[in-house]
Amino acid sequence: MTQPTPDSRRRRPRRNGWTNERRKVFLNVLRAWGNVAHAAHVAGMSREGAYRLRRRCPQFARAWDAAMAHDAPPLPVTRRPVTTIEKALVGDPEEVRYHGKRVGYRYRPDGMVGLALLRRLDRLLD
């Protein structure tokens, strides 16, 4: 009689573990953003748990690699300039690359623009 492999055993899914739905959410967010910590947070799990699952489940590891290799479409080009408030609160888009391929965009708020806005508001209140 052969011993079952860890992947061939059927386990009852845990309510607080990596359910199929959480895996789908994680992979979709990872494909869109290219950020493991953000994808795990959106899925309601930890970054460390995602890496443990990747080591444990080869099928999930292949899906992870496919999500990271996905080349995201470019941001839509807007005809209007970014307002100062948008730049302070949201930030300018910045490409995120993984192994030379574009995997998403990150937005970093500009703190100096935010401080300039606050100074301008202070002058208006004086």
Number of Cβ within 10 Å of residue 126's Cβ equals 4
- Whole-prediction pTM value? 0.50
Q: Alpha-carbon torsion 48, 54, 56, 60, what sign?
A: positive
Q: Alpha-carbon torsion 49, 55, 58, 64, what sign?
A: positive
Q: Per-residue pLDDT tens, the chain, 126 aa: give them.
A: 556 555 555 666 556 789 999 999 999 888 877 788 888 998 999 999 999 999 999 999 999 988 887 655 545 555 455 677 777 777 777 788 888 887 877 888 878 888 888 888 787 787
